[in-house]
Amino acid sequence: MRPSSLLPGPARTDPAMPGVADSVLDLIGRTPVVRLGVLARAVAPQVLVKLEGRNPGGSAKDRPALSMIRAAEAAGDLAPGATIVESTSGNTGVGLALVGRLTGHPVVLVHGPNMSAEKRATAALYGAELVEADWDAGPDDPDNPRAVADRIAAERGAWRSHQYDNHANPSAHYRSTGPEIWEQTGGRVTHLVAGIGTGGTISGTGRFLKEASGGAVRVIGANPEGSTYGGGAPGEIRVEGVGTRWPRSHWPASFDAGVPDEVRSASDDVVFETVRRLAAEEALLLGPSSGLAVAVALEVAAGLTADDVVVVVSSDGGGNYLSEALGGPR
Ligand SMILES: Cc1ncc(COP(=O)(O)O)c(C=O)c1O
């Protein structure tokens, strides 16, 4: 089955080999879901993890990357062969680099020093051009990543994918991640937990699941230390890919703050301890933002019953963080 909602492309070239994908683009989505064992032993509900790291670019971001590019092409905003510019902490860059390579668009990524060495190397191997900007610069500072990306796009006549403000970002999750979770759980999902970066994942997936369940599914955002999504003051954010230091007035348009019923925070200590336990006890090597989401999910699950089914979106695997955030014995 091809992800037809995302890919209006040509049919398989050889119907006699239905297990063979036309290209890597055909492998985006339809990620597996696994039930937690040891980590969820003390809680009554099933806690299920959707493994978005199994996408070909290694993260959930392959979905919005493909969706944003296809939507822009269809709208005539992205001409054949035109360049794409994005400011990204990493995974969207890898997703755009991968999809850009296969759809014929050069990709320029404006990133911060927090982008892991593995993600930089991966995006570069897919042919993306990398430009470093000041990730700590505020919304009005011309050196902030979005401003730098805007400048480069203007200079080169390139298209800005604007993942923070692009409706095709949450809609990718509305059209694929949400329906997959609904189908994979046989409609039994009662709670969704996801981190919030651009907000695309939680807004699109959460909106779909709420609609599919007649409003029954409860959506919980997972917030890292230092992020204002949880209502606290801005500080250093150590969990890559999630959180914002900007005030509510500057939260991304791709985040629909009306979708989460609540946002819960977890400390960095708990996040990294959860990542290590996931690897050691479940043989699940996941990224730090997944540790955050699982930690919040276990806290939520502690107050629920055996009739509940909690689904956690794991945005990526841990392999991209081995040299830095997850590196070395502790
Ligand atoms: C590792 C990681 N986790 C979580 C997220 C959050 O996803 P979203 O941007 O859809 O909110 C991202 C986004 O870049 C990410 O890179």
270-293 pLDDT, tens digit per residue, is 999 999 999 999 999 999 999 999
Q: What's the pLDDT score for residue 40?
A: 98
Nearest to 84 by CA among 157, 136, 159: 159
In the CATH scheme, what is the code of domain 62-160? Answer: 3.40.50.1100
Instruction: Tell me: pLDDT of 221 over 70.
Output: yes
24-54+177-321 fold: Rossmann fold (3.40.50)
Residue with tokens 């759980």: 185
Q: Where are the domains of the chain?
A: 24-54+177-321, 62-160
- Do 24-54+177-321 and 62-160 agree at the fold level? yes
Task: Tell me if residue 50 is catalytic.
Answer: no
Asked if residues 301 and 40 have their Cβ atoms less than 8 Å apart, the reply is: yes
How many Å lie between the centroid of ligand 1 and the Cα of residue 9? Answer: 27
Instruction: Tell me: pLDDT of 226 over 60.
Output: yes
Per-residue pLDDT, averaged over 195-215, amounts to 98
Instruction: Tell me: pLDDT of 4 over 70.
Output: no
Of 50, 61, 119, 210, the catalytic one is: 61
Q: What's the pLDDT score for residue 64?
A: 98
Task: Specify the range with the lowest mean pLDDT, choosing from 35-49, 116-130, 185-199, 210-224.
Answer: 116-130
Per-residue pLDDT, averaged over 235-261, amounts to 94
Residue to mutate, 67, 115, 201, ligand 1, most ligand atoms under 8 Å from C-beta: 201
Q: Distances in Å between the alpha carbon of 313 and those of 68, 199, 260, 289, 290?
A: 20, 12, 14, 9, 7
pLDDT digits (tens, 9 = 90+) for 40-85: 999 999 999 999 999 999 999 999 999 999 999 999 999 999 999 9
